[in-house]
Amino acid sequence: MATATAMVLLSVVINGCSATPAGIPADAVVAGANENGSTMRLRSGQMLVIELQSNPSTGYVWQLVREPNAQYLLVD
C-alpha cells in the first residue's frame, strides 16, 4: 500500500514539473535557440512563446531594442 501511494505521489510531482507554465496554453508554439533560423507556422490566435537563456548574475541578459506593437503582445 505504501509503495502504491509513493508511486502516485511521484507521478503527480513529475507531471507537475513537466506541465505547461500558468498562462501558456498547451497548444502554444515554443521557440528557443534550437529553432534559430527556422520557419514557425501558427494558427490565427495561437500563442508563440520565445524562450531565451540568460544569466543576470554574469550580465548575460536580453533587452528589447524597440518596443513591439502592443496589438500583438500578451502582457504578464
Question: pLDDT (tens digit, 0 to 9) for every residue of the chain, 76 residues total?
Answer: 444 444 444 444 444 444 456 788 899 999 998 998 888 888 888 888 888 888 889 988 888 788 777 777 665 5
pLDDT of residue 76: 52
In the chain, the number of structural domains is 1
Residue 5 lies in a domain: no
pLDDT of residue 21: 64
* Residue type, position 76, single letter: D
Residue 38 lies in a domain: yes
Distance CA 75, CA 63 (A): 16
Contact 47, 56 (CB under 8 A): no
pLDDT of residue 18: 44
Residue 9 lies in a domain: no
Residue 18 lies in a domain: no
Q: 28: which 3 cell numbers?
A: 502554444
CA dihedral (33, 38, 42, 45) positive or negative:
positive
Q: 44: which 3 cell numbers?
A: 490565427
Q: Note the pTM of the prediction, 2 decimals.
A: 0.50
Contact 62, 52 (CB under 8 A): yes
Query: 65 by DSSP, 3-state: which?
Result: coil
pLDDT of residue 9: 45
